[in-house]
Structure 1
């Protein structure tokens, strides 16, 4: 908990000025770069992170992390059980290019791993789907900052979502992934409206940092 509030203090680029009305925030939410699902998997929050959904010449990774943490805060607040059971992160690497990869500097990767370790919902699995052949180059940098326990939770799938069906009930996945839940477009709209409902909360929440 101490590390969490220290991170909130030391990463103002992620935790300050979190208005959902900001154009860069709205655009990324509507693109569906970060999508917590409405239903959990055995109590675990399931999050789809679409790493190639944004245009790297327009959007930067700092804003993507900000948006992701805004949505994660609300998802966990509305389902406190996820703080106990943790989360499953599905990184969909469809349409990822070398320009997306170049945004992931060593500094950003280090900070991202630190955030995963110290957030209110711990990652129990990190699944990479539709992965390009060079994925291990980037993953090896991520793993260099991970404790062994987290390294053991990383799985790479070079095919589509079908490889996840053994682990996650496809009923809860968006229809875009062969599931029976809302589409990415519908889920993105849901989350934008949800963030708007919490805009006053985001303004108030900025006060809570380590001293």
Structure 2
């Protein structure tokens, strides 16, 4: 498996910090499982491990886990351009692989954080497509939900030198208005911080485009670092980084290729369970979405009501 999971000592420390234990976690997972079985409009394939991912990342709030789970499946119906034809081996997806390095680092930090690495290739100015990138991200995050064990949260690191004017022109606002709320509000992810190292002056243009689509909390968790990769060492353990950044991990090319192989092995799930959507004819009236409420300027999902 590409991802190295949390070890026993890290698990004990995280549970201690969360002021809980595995008994409480498992109890809430069973309650969420029971609730899901009563929601006939939702797909029913989720394992206890996957439900645990929701409970854990919703900080043990069952109500929030229910809301996240419902919206997670509902979005497959509402934005089919992200979730239909999920084959990671299509020509379009393989071309995308050559325009961006985008994968989780295999090892967790010592404190138990997962780290996501992003760097755009020089060819992105001509060939990058952010709709394909949204589809790729949906595949990637579904893999994490399916295969990740518990972690303390997620850090995202972005190679700032790869942010160019050509890339900026390729970012379609209509896609971002759907993608960013999905990433930051729907997915059960504890995104603790995004670090843009080697941050170039043009970063301010990206900020103007992206920040209005994020909550104030998420805006405050994006940190442009004007220094080189060594500034990351303040937040990320050096040894888990790719060797280009002084770490002990494989090169970014090797990691990208390994991740592509991992996603190709995940193809069957993406094309079966990963393509199931809600049956809106069976949705309880009091939890019904109003589609117009979902993709406003603020990207708010607060209209979803869960019984």
TM score, norm. by length of structure 1 = 0.89
**More deviation, 141-150/51-60:** 51-60
Cα distance change, pair 71–134 in 1 and its aligned pair in 2 (3 A): same
Counterpart in the other structure of 1:103: 170
Following TM superposition, where does structure 1 have runs of at least 4 consecutive aligned residues deviating by more than 4 angstroms?
none
Unaligned runs of 5+ in 1: none
Determine helix, strand or coil for the equivalent of 1:57: helix
Q: How far apart, in 2, do the equivalents of 1:76 and 1:198 lie? A: 12
Counterpart in the other structure of 2:211: 143
Q: How far apart, in 1, do the equivalents of 2:279 and 2:108 lie? A: 31
Counterpart in the other structure of 1:58: 127
Q: How far apart, in 1, do the equivalents of 2:242 and 2:163 lie? A: 20
TM score, norm. by length of structure 2 = 0.63
**More deviation, 175-184/67-76:** 67-76
Counterpart in the other structure of 2:256: 188
Kindly state the Cα deviation for residue 173 of structure 1 after the two structures are TM-superposed.
0.6
Cα distance change, pair 122–104 in 1 and its aligned pair in 2 (3 A): farther
CA RMSD of superposed structures (Å): 2.0
Counterpart in the other structure of 2:244: 176
Unaligned runs of 5+ in 2: 1-67, 281-307
Q: Whose radius of gyration is greater, 1 or 2?
A: 2
Counterpart in the other structure of 2:139: 70
**Corresponding residue pairs, total:** 209
The question of whether the paired residues in 1 share the 8 Å contact of 2:128 and 2:167 is answered with no
Q: How far apart, in 1, do the equivalents of 2:159 and 2:108 lie? A: 18
Structure with bigger RCO (C-alpha 8 Å, 6+ apart):
1
Give the counterpart of 2:154 among 66, 87, 100: 87
Cα distance change, pair 63–198 in 1 and its aligned pair in 2 (3 A): same
The question of whether the paired residues in 1 share the 8 Å contact of 2:99 and 2:128 is answered with no
The question of whether the paired residues in 2 share the 8 Å contact of 1:56 and 1:100 is answered with yes
Counterpart in the other structure of 2:224: 156
The question of whether the paired residues in 2 share the 8 Å contact of 1:88 and 1:124 is answered with yes
Cα distance change, pair 75–53 in 1 and its aligned pair in 2 (3 A): farther
1:130 matches 2:198: yes
